Each structure stands twice: as C-alpha cells, then as structure tokens.
Chain A
C-alpha cells in the first residue's frame, strides 16, 4: 500500500509537469499580455501612454523574453515557492492565495460532505422504496436540482432572503468581521454564512449522486448474496445496510476525486454571484486581465488539489473493496 502511494505520488509529479505546460500555453494563447490589456484600459480612460514607458515595463516584468524563457522562469520560481507577483493587485501571488485558497478548500470540503450526507441516504431510500410516492417526489426534486443552473439558484436565494427576511446572504462573513483577524466569533459568523454557497454549489452534485446511489443499489438488491443473507434469518434493515448498501457505495467512493473539480469550477460563478472571498473571482479576474502569474498559480494549485483528491478516492476504494488491490500479486 505504502509502495503504491509513493508510486502514485511520483506519477503526480509527471502529471503536474505536463499540466504546467498546458496551463502556461493556455494562458499565453490570447493575443497580447498583461501590459497590452493595461495600456488598452488606460487609453480607454483617456490617458496617453508613452511607448518607451511600456517597453521599460515589459522588460521589467520579463514579458519581452521568449515564451519558453518565460515558462522556465515561472515554473522554476513556482517550485521554489515563489509564485511571482500579480500585476493587477501588485502583490505577491502567494499572499493573495494564502488569503483565499484555504477558504476555497474549506468550501469545497464542506460542499463535498453536504453532497454525500444528503445524497446517500436519499438514494438509499429511493432504491428501497422504488416507485413509491416518496421516490417519485425525491426524483422530481432531484431532477429540478440537476436542471437548475447554480447561479440562478443563488440569485433566487439572495432575492428571497433579502425580500422576506431582509438578510443579505452574500459573502462568507458579516461586514463587521471581514477585516477582523481570525477568532472564534469570526468562525461562528462564517459557519452561519457558509450554508448558502454550500447549498447552491452542492445541489447539482447531490441530485446526480442520488441517481447514482439509487441505480447502483437497485442493481445490488436483487443479487444472490442478499437472498443468502435473508435466508440466514437477518432482519431486513441489518442485511440491507450490511450488504447491498455497503457494496453500492463503492462506485460513489471511487468518484469522490471527480467531484472536486466539479465543485471548484462550479464555485467560480457562484463565488462571483455571492461575492465570496474564494479563488473563483480571483482566477476569473486574472484571466480577463491576462494576469498570468496569478492565473497560472491558481490553476496549478487547483490541479494539485484535484490530483490529491483522486489519489484519496483511489486509496479509499482499496479500503472499501477487498477485490481491488494495487499490489502486484506475489
């Protein structure tokens, strides 16, 4: 097992190298660079910009070097922990990420827990009571949840709460806590705000996992080993949870890693709508401004998280299903 994990970590390094190249190319794809965008916006405001000044700036930021040199500069610094400076914020990228990345991770993990805690019991119920009123009702709600765009749900919630309760549900903190240092009160305040984005981001994922859980359990319920357990004299409740439910959960466990990118990308739009201080709005702005060090670093960090998520779900799968083994047979 340890061997396997180490081997996987090694593969992750290769994946990340390949990924960094792709990320860099994509960021470089739009014509121009940060300065072109910057100059364009200055000119739009009526300020004239001196060409010589621009050239000087370009040289200072290293933007006049060839793309390969630029990549090399970026990636070697990245490995050393220096993610460069954001042009737009004029602050080190590391500092910006330190503010926002932990909140993104926390939001993602909370959403993941929410999705599984809600979806698995509902999926189990739907399968056990197939074609009952409850099953139909939950399926309808599930499909609506799946079909509703997240940002739409966010807007509806915001409107609803503002109109009827006079509460603004945007953000992760109340205004008085935003600039405060971390304290227990601030954490409590955050938890009160957290449920709205968790609900909004988690809805679509919940709906699809309900479907997966339901169909996976329906497949298992008719299997021979269920009849065997019944023939032993076990109670329905015990045998259902010990055998078919336990086995039907395997495909869900193995896809935890795939949920993370969904959540992270789904989070971007929601974070903008709900003005959450996460990485979502940051990367959106960075891509618009061609703020390449910021954009590249965020994408790299999110990729690393996704790879770790996949590894975790692979390890979990070995733990829950004894038929799967990554060790070479002796």
Chain B
C-alpha cells in the first residue's frame, strides 16, 4: 500500500533517565507516513503521542534520549533524523522548512511580547534570505490564506489581542509559510471550543489538499480522527497497539484497547440509557516497565501467563492492518 513513504519511524525509543528510574515514554514505535496522507495518532494522555511527535523534530526536553531510526525521505537523500544532533544545523534546516509543527495551546505557543507578524516573518527569514518587507508581505498573504480577516492589520497584533481560534490560524499560517512536506499537528484543536474546532479542521483539510503535504495528526478525540485521518495508529503506553486505515480501525477495531475506546464514544440517538462505557483504571506510568503487554491490567481478555509473559508482537491481521495482541496469533 505504501510505496511512497515520506517519513519512516523504525523502533523508536525515547527514554527519560530520572532519579526514580528510566521512564520509557516511547518503547519501540514503528510507523510510516505516506506522501500526501494524514496519519492520525490516538491515545489517552500519557501514551506517548506527543513525545513521538517531538522526537521526530528532536524537540524532546532534557533528559530525554532518542534511540532508533527516523528516516525522512523529503530531501534528495534520506536522512535519519534520530541520529542528528538536536542543536545542529542539519536538524535546524529541516525544522520549519521540511517539517513544521503546530501545538495544542495557541495562546502559549506565541511569545507574548512579539507581534504575530514578527514571529511568522522570522520563520520565513530563518530559512530564506528575504528582505523584511517581502517577508512581511508573505506573512500577510499566509494570514489571508488561513482566513484571518484584515490580515494587514492583524499582522501587527500581539497574541493577547487575538482569540484562541485566530491564534491557531496564525500558528497554521506560520507552520505552512515555508510549504513544509510534513506538518505535525499536536492536538491542534483540543484547547478550542467546538465550533472553532470544526473551522480549524476544515481549514487544515483544505490546505492539505491545496499544498499537497502529509500531516501527522495527534489527538485523543476519535471523532476528529474519523474526520481527518487516512491512516490511524492507536498508541498505548509508549507503543503502537493497532495500525490500519481509518476504515479498518473504525469498522473492525481488533485490539481490546481500541475496542474499548470505540465503545466509549457517545452515540447520538442511541437508545441505551445506561452509563457511557469507560475503560477501568488509568494509563500506568512507564517507569522501568516490565516486559509485558502494557494494557494487560485493564484488559477484559487478560490471559494470565500469556499477556504478562512478554510484549506481544505486531501481528498482520489483514492487508495494512496490524495489531499488537496475542488474541490474533
């Protein structure tokens, strides 16, 4: 299915060495993102979605250590991002220009004491030698493209003068100002209210089609995934537990965790009067985790001696559909 791969993550492990032990935020993630496709990564808080996203651009805070391979096929030659030094020129050339990122809190993501225009122009000028007036012109054009009214005025606004939705649009404008091949969106709509959410999602879809880029869309909202993604990776405790096309995941969820997630979606017009299904327990903290299925403690199909014996392998159940669960062996 995926012969035109843009980014390939192989056995990614991001560990944080803490006083209390080794926190394995990501423990062996392998993923591939095709050109022009949208990959959705879903999971509860603490499952490693955001760390995966940040690992790609080497933005993991200290004392995080990244191991494994992240191959980017956007340039002339494939580059292994995981092997690049995090403050070196090589990764800095890719950040913003080839791979851009947008964040969850648009209010916090802009510096409060610089204008929006200044911060967007800076992104442009970091990668292109463009005189100031031209960069400003491009900025205004980008703001217009993301649907900000009166961009000539807005360009000189400070973040506190704009609403959350406007700021997220500005953030998208900044991320797309250099036409990146890959956009990483880390919960871009979580902090916004629902109507604004829908607007932002529509905008992202439109721009993805227009500009022809790939998107990694990280969220805990399955509705958003169904709306946005072509492919879906479900993450749990630092690992991908199920991967497939959006159709496969929603119509035939196979991992007990994915199934439980699907059952926890409230359905409009359903007759049931009972409580909304929820998953018992919480995601444990992966501090020196034992080698076992991470979901075993919360799983209704738990098999003693099997699930807690080793980490289950990823098993192909149909073309392009993989599950990390021994039930499918």
Contact = CB atoms under 8 A, between A and B. Distances in A.
Given A231-B57, A232-B126, A236-B87, A224 B96 contact: no
Interface string B28-57: 000000000000000000000000001001
A246 B113 contact: yes
Contact of B111 (A230, A233, A247): A247
Nearest to B98: A233
Interface in A56-98: none
B97 A223 contact: no
Nearest to A130: B62
A230 B158 contact: no
Nearest to A237: B87
Contact of B92 (A222, A223, A233): A233
A132 interface: no
A233 B113 contact: no
A247 B92 contact: no
A235 B93 CA distance: 10
Contacts of A246: 111, 113
B59 A323 contact: no
A320 B119 CA distance: 17
Interface of chain B, main secondary structure: mixed
Contacts, number: 73
A181 interface: no
Interface residues of B, number: 31
B108 interface: yes
Query: What is the size category of the interface that chain A forms with chain B?
Result: 20 to 34
B15 interface: no
Interface string B104-130: 010011111110000100110011000
A322 B113 contact: yes
A302 interface: no
Contacts of A232: 95-96, 122-123, 126, 174
Contacts of A227: 54, 59, 103, 109
A233 B87 contact: no
Contacts of A250: 113
B170 to A, nearest CB: 11
A219 interface: no
Nearest to B118: A242
Interface in A225-278: 225, 227-236, 242-243, 246-247, 250
Nearest to B157: A322
B314 interface: no
B323 interface: no
Nearest to A238: B126
B100 A231 contact: yes
A322 B126 CA distance: 24
A60 B119 CA distance: 71
A99 interface: no
Contact of A235 (B59, B92, B94, B127): B92
20 contacts: A224-B103, A228-B103, A228-B119, A229-B119, A231-B57, A231-B59, A231-B95, A231-B96, A232-B122, A232-B126, A233-B95, A233-B127, A236-B87, A243-B111, A246-B113, A320-B113, A321-B112, A321-B113, A323-B113, A323-B158
Interface of A: 222-225, 227-236, 242-243, 246-247, 250, 320-323
Given A246-B113, A322-B112, A322-B158, 12 more contacts: A224-B105, A224-B108, A225-B112, A228-B101, A228-B111, A230-B59, A231-B95, A232-B95, A232-B122, A233-B92, A234-B92, A234-B122
- Considering the complex of A and B, which 6 residue pairs feature the smallest CB-CB distances, nearest first? A233-B95, A233-B96, A224-B108, A232-B96, A232-B123, A233-B92
